Structure 1
Amino acid sequence: MSENLAITPEQLDLLQHAIGYTSEKVENGIFVFGRNWCAYKEENASWEELVKKGYASKRALRNLFDEAVYHVSKKGVKLLETSLLISIIPRSDMEETLK
């Protein structure tokens, strides 16, 4: 069984959204991301499952909105690379978002 089947199509879309992926931004088989986050007012069940599986991390943002902020992990990036058949690399200032 492929590791890709371990998540739902919705969860795959969430991972792509968090890093700002669109196929139009792929050049020579490489996508460079300059963001890595997705915020919700409340915990999101699909993201929580991704966190449990190691494909994402979460932090609580204690501000005016008290949001749950999710980030794609290194394992999540590897899953996206396998699913999309491309290389995905962070812009140099985004390295610290990968845990």
Structure 2
Amino acid sequence: MTLDDGLTACSALMFVIVLLVCLKPLLKLVSLHRGGQKGGSAALSLVGQMALDRTRRLSVVRYGSREVLVLTGGNQDVLLEWQNEGGAFAAALEEAS
């Protein structure tokens, strides 16, 4: 391998690295658009979690302006809907832990 071949390989590698770094913001924008997120905030978000025991977990999930309480683990999962003005579930989880 000559010096000219080595320089060509290094310059090609540097070009690919620069191209990947420059395309990263564009790829992030495309993935946000594909995921259905608007304005950079997710419509579905996890507000808080609390482990009840080794297998069960209590979670508060927010979808838009609604919050739901989800009990996962054990034999079956339970979903409790809560329509509230504030973050009563999140405040209760913070208070309990």
With normalisation by structure 2, the TM-score equals 0.20
Structure with a larger share of its residues in strand: 2
Greater relative CO (CA pairs within 8 A, separation 6+): 1
